[in-house]
Amino acid sequence: MGAESPASFRQMEICTSLRRTQVMKILLALVMLGLMSSRGAECRKRRVLDSFDYSAISCRAHSASLTDFGGVGDGITSNTNAFQSAINSLSQYSSDGGSQLFVPEGKWLTGSFNLTSHFTLYLHKDAVLLASQDVSEWSVIDPLPSYGRGRDAAGGRYISLIFGTNLTDVVITGDNGTIDGQGQIWWQKFHQKKLTYTRPYLIEIMHSDQVQISNLTLVNSPAWNVHPVYSSNVVVKGITITAPITSPNTDGINPDSCSNVRIEDCYIISGDDCVAVKSGWDEYGIAYGMPTKGLIIRRLTCISPYSAVIALGSEMSGGIQDVRAEDIVAINSESGVRIKTAVGRGGYVKDIYVKGMTMKTMKWALWMTGNYGSHPDPHYDPKALPVIQGINYRDIVADNVTMAARLEGISGDPFTGICISNVTINKSPKPKKVQWVCTDVDGVTSGVVPQPCAPLTKGDQSAEGINSCDFPTDTLPVDNMEFKTCSYSRSYLL
């Protein structure tokens, strides 16, 4: 806190070459020699300065380091209490300028902890949060009301590593520091069907407004990585997510019953969908009735050999509306944008706009699935049919594709208002003979190669030039969420 005097800068320069552990050892030796009381020796008590700027939606008046609360970054000591007591203590500033908690370089083993409002968690570039593999470090919380149950097991679910609910103005960022979910034990339990509760996510923010998650690397999540749910005004930017491509349900970013969300500049390799847009499951999602709407996805690079680059569903019972995806790169992925739904879901997926997508090595460039199945329980309403309407794809080039499109609506409930324009799909050396399969879908195409299926060729005017599908030109409120330059500057004696 406060400005640092030039003297301390000099002192820091003198001392920075000493590693902290070495300093500790020297301090210990000095204590034993009884020399600590003598003043003026530059390096006996080292003044350390952590000072840097970063971008955030709001800056904070108060600062602390995890080490102030007994944090030990040795990769062995549990820091759950250090994190929770730091945040509990800093929550006193929620109505007094807010606070920021700095996580220095080190390996910080921790169980789950809860965030507070007007708060920033900042990870140094060499800070690694290691998720505890001790199940007792994860409390069990209620299932999401819009899902009715956990996804892995009926009943409750393990709380996420970083959890926040009913918050305003929360930032999780860093200089590309790492959050390592150490998911292997969870994936194993999942495969062996030994889970009592649903696996934890890495970051879950519920019922919150004004959320920023940026400049971090997330690895090996037990399941989903970033899950904003029942929240609004959320920016996820500059996140790298990696998990083994065979790891179960390691979705990248899952906006779920959220409005005004912006996902940009993210790089994701995962075992499930890179971005999965959701809004609750069958009768629970219908009853909760909270859609995801006003979602921007731009400059996303995705590798997902067994799943989609962007999935809409399969849990979409609260509705999904106004999704704008732009400048998407996909490599070695199962499908590009995929709509997943089923009889019993209810809800809708409408006003979806995709513009500018480059894909290489894909099984299906375009995929819509009306019979996804996967119900929370047998009590879903078979009369609850989803409405899929107004799906616009344009300016797409895909190379090395096994099958161009597999578009399967629901019998008696066709997917309508599909528009596909300026799309070139180049086949792989071993392509499917039939490149387009279309059932229960209806729409128009223009400038699409190879020749689309009959239900989509009514409006083809490629001979007279390309008739582009819509892409909105207005801005969404989340576009106006801007970053300020904030600073963290804090010195202390070590």
The residues binding ligand NAG (CB under 6 A) are 54-55, 84, 114, 139, 141, 159, 163, 165-166, 173, 176, 207, 214-215, 217, 237-238, 240, 361, 395, 397, 400, 402, 422, 428, 466, 468, 483
Q: Which is nearer to ligand NAG, 250 or 341 (CB)?
A: 250
What type of residue is 328? Answer: I
Q: How far is the CB of 178 from ligand NAG (least distance, A)?
A: 7
- Token readout for 379 is 């009590």
Tokens of 403: 């099958």
Residue from 228, 238, 232 nearest 277 by CA: 228
The distance of closest approach from Cβ of residue 273 to ligand NAG in the complex, given in angstroms and rounded to an integer, is: 20
Give the nearer residue to ligand NAG in terms of CB position, either 191 or 207: 207
Q: Which residues pair with 269 in a beta bridge?
A: 242, 303
Q: Among residues 6 and 465, whose Cβ is nearest to ligand NAG? A: 465
Active site residues: 272
How far apart are alpha carbons 137 and 449 in whole angstroms? 54
For ligand NAG, the closer of residues 238 and 252 by Cβ is 238
Q: What is the largest CA-CA distance in the chain?
A: 91
Question: Cβ closer to ligand NAG: 44 or 298?
Answer: 298
CB 475 → ligand NAG: shortest distance, Å? Answer: 19
Closest Cα partner for 487 from 117, 47, 49, 5?
A: 49
Minimum CB–partner distance for residue 154 and ligand NAG (Å): 19
- Measured between its terminal Cα atoms, the distance across the chain in Å is 16
Q: Measured in whole angstroms, how far is the alpha carbon of residue 62 from the centre of its chain?
A: 27
CB of 220 to ligand NAG, least distance (A): 12
Bridge partners of 330? 302, 359
The CA-based angle 396-399-400, given to 5 degrees, is 145
Nearer to ligand NAG, 264 or 413 (CB): 264
Residue 301's φ and ψ, nearest 5 degrees, are: -115, 130
